[in-house]
């Protein structure tokens, strides 16, 4: 183990939080506090998850919101079963496979598919998909919650009524897209002050506030009527009318017809843990590959641990980016991607002496597709009667329940479309489809695009032990997985597991935290990695923001962690 790596701690970290009743870790301190406050009032982890999510929607409009989507994984202690609620966006009914012209003059996107002309798929009126966040979290509450929804949404409503103080993070995210914001007058009025960046909080406490009064009114209606207040009636009509009047294609019928994908997934195994990740095949394949290597004996700072992790991620990303398509719409080997036999075949390509040839070519998961049990789909009305620019939430309660969620509107402020009468920023999830009609993840009405960002919940011996999620696009994947492995393989307490330097690879370059031992960096280059060094600093988010919680199986003690600490919040009681 290198002295260099041990002498370079995180830039900033949370103190250890260990309590006995409930913990919540989120992307904003007030969201974590809201989750804990709800548990103090008698709510369970699922009430806390929903309350923290809606609070996050208010406090982090640059990252998520009710015009966006969510991925939720839960372990229900009483039934000892997992539940996954995939509340991802769906393509509107008027969408079609060739609706965007491909721009061949620029490199592919961060997500691995071509960009579109005039950025139509990632900004503006046509980039908006049917949002799923409200339906997903309201369904989660209806299935698993204990408190009334009016109580669960109180913290979010109170904060929205007060207005959101502008922070340095808001300034950074607004600044990134300032010129584009000015193209949309209603968005500019919502985010800018006199056409310029709003003032952030200072030592005197003075700052500008984002006006969230109309959002507060909408949240009150959702608290009383549930998802119907958003997905039908006046709200749906106003949203659709506003978007269509400017050239968009979202309709009130799209909103009313939206349904999340609700599943009992077959749990995967890792080092004696059982886990689900809300239908994230990259997560399943990468951990299946890594389970075939002895990571513990190699050490958390070793070249081998870094190299094997990068190779597993590279293979898993290449396979999903090539083969994944919404299984409700296209023939896609989604079950084969998560089968251990496919991972074993891919793991045989990995050598410590050299990288798999770049760019990584996809394998063939089809031969394993029929061997893997698909998730059990729950149909509406839902029931558990059989056996009794993104943010994140992880929560655990005294009753043994755990849950995690990844919430997003896509890019910073999503599509940059703001519906002023409702106070809602709309997602730009159409960018997550592949604009090529021949690709399995092509656009089709009602279809969900690929999503590779785990909301991971893990148990051991029937008890919930770990929950984690993150934000930061595909950097969420290595963030959550390496936090989980640091905790499970290397025995790190959860805050240290979050803080430990990470790397990321999607099949070409390997992005490495510059705190990693220079000797390890040198060996990575020597075996063929094209290493790009990144530094942990505010606004960069090179390796994702991570929130995670754990339970000690002997004492029952709960811990919460988050990082980077300047962009996360933890709370407990």
pLDDT band per the 50, 70, 90 thresholds, residue 354: very high
406 close to 392: Cβ distance less than 8 angstroms: yes
- Whether residue 330 has pLDDT greater than 90: yes
Which has the closest alpha carbon to 72: 571, 559, 451? 451
Q: How far apart are CA 457 and CA 277, in angstroms?
A: 7
pLDDT at 8: 60
22 close to 39: Cβ distance less than 8 angstroms: yes
**Structure confidence by residue, pLDDT tens digits, 267-280:** 999 999 999 999 99
**Structure confidence by residue, pLDDT tens digits, 376-434:** 998 876 655 433 368 999 999 999 999 999 999 999 999 999 999 999 999 999 999 99
Which has the closest alpha carbon to 419: 214, 164, 225? 214
**Structure confidence by residue, pLDDT tens digits, 48-86:** 999 999 999 999 999 999 999 999 999 999 999 999 999
**Structure confidence by residue, pLDDT tens digits, 187-238:** 999 999 999 999 998 767 689 999 999 999 999 999 999 999 999 999 999 9
* Rounded mean pLDDT, 100-129: 90
- Whether residue 375 has pLDDT greater than 90: yes
pLDDT band per the 50, 70, 90 thresholds, residue 539: confident
401 close to 49: Cβ distance less than 8 angstroms: no
Question: Is the entire prediction scored with pTM above 0.75?
Answer: yes
pLDDT at 541: 77
564 close to 10: Cβ distance less than 8 angstroms: yes
* Rounded mean pLDDT, 427-449: 96
Q: How buried is residue 181: exposed, middle or buried, by Cβ count under 10 Å (0-12/13-18/19+)?
A: buried
């Amino acid at each position: 183990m290198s002295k260099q790596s041990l002498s370079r701690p995180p830039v900033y970290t949370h103190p250890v939080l260990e309590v006995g009743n409930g913990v919540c870790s989120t992307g904003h301190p007030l969201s974590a506090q809201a989750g804990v406050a709800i548990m103090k009032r008698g709510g369970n982890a699922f009430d806390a998850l929903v309350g923290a999510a809606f609070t996050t929607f208010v406090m982090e409009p640059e990252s998520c919101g009710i015009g966006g989507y969510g991925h939720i994984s839960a372990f229900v202690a009483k039934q000892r079963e997992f539940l996954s609620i995939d509340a991802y966006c769906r393509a509107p009914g008027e969408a079609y496979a060739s609706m965007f012209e491909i721009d061949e003059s620029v490199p592919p996107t961060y997500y691995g598919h071509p960009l579109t002309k005039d950025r139509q798929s990632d900004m503006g009126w046509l980039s908006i998909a049917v949002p799923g966040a409200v339906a997903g979290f309201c369904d989660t509450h209806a299935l698993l919650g204990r408190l009334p929804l009016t109580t669960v949404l109180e913290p979010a409503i109170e904060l929205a009524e007060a207005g959101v103080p502008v922070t340095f993070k808001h300034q950074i995210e607004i600044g990134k897209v300032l010129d584009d914001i000015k193209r949309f007058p209603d968005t500019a009025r919502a985010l800018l002050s006199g056409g310029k960046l709003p003032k952030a909080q200072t030592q005197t406490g003075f700052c500008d506030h984002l006006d969230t009064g109309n959002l507060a009114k909408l949240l009150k209606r959702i608290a009383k009527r549930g998802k119907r207040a958003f997905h039908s009636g006046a709200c749906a009509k106003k949203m659709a009318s506003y978007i269509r009047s400017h050239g968009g294609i979202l309709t009130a019928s799209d909103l009313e017809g939206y349904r999340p994908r609700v599943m009992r997934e077959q749990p995967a195994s890792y080092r004696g843990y059982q886990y689900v990740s809300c239908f994230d095949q990259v997560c399943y394949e990468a951990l299946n590959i890594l389970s075939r290597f002895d990571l513990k004996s190699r050490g958390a700072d070793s070249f081998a641990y870094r190299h094997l992790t990068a190779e597993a991620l590279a293979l898993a990303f290449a396979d999903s980016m090539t083969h994944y398509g919404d299984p409700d719409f296209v023939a896609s080997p989604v079950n084969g991607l998560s089968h251990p036999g496919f991972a074993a075949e891919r793991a045989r390509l990995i050598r410590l002496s050299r990288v798999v040839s770049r760019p990584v070519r996809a394998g063939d998961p089809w031969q394993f597709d029929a061997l893997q049990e698909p998730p059990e789909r729950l149909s509406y009305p839902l029931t558990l009667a059989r056996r009794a620019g993104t943010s994140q939430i992880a929560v655990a309660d005294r009753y043994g329940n755990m849950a995690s969620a990844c919430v997003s509107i896509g890019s910073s402020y999503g599509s940059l479309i703001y519906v002023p009468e409702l106070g809602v920023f709309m997602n730009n999830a159409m960018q997550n489809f592949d604009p090529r009609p021949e690709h399995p993840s092509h656009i089709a009405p009602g279809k969900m695009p690929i999503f590779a960002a785990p909301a991971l919940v893990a148990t051991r011996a029937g008890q919930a032990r770990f929950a984690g999620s993150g934000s930061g696009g595909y950097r969420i994947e290595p963030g959550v997985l390496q936090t989980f492995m640091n905790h499970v393989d290397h025995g790190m307490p959860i805050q240290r597991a979050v803080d430990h330097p990470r790397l990321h690879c999607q099949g070409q370059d390997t992005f490495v935290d510059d705190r990693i031992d220079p000797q390890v960096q040198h060996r990575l280059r020597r075996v063929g990695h094209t290493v790009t060094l990144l530094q942990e600093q505010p606004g960069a988010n090179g390796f994702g923001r991570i929130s995670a919680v754990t339970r000690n199986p002997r004492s029952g003690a709960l811990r919460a962690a988050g990082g980077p600490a300047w962009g996360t919040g933890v709370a407990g009681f």
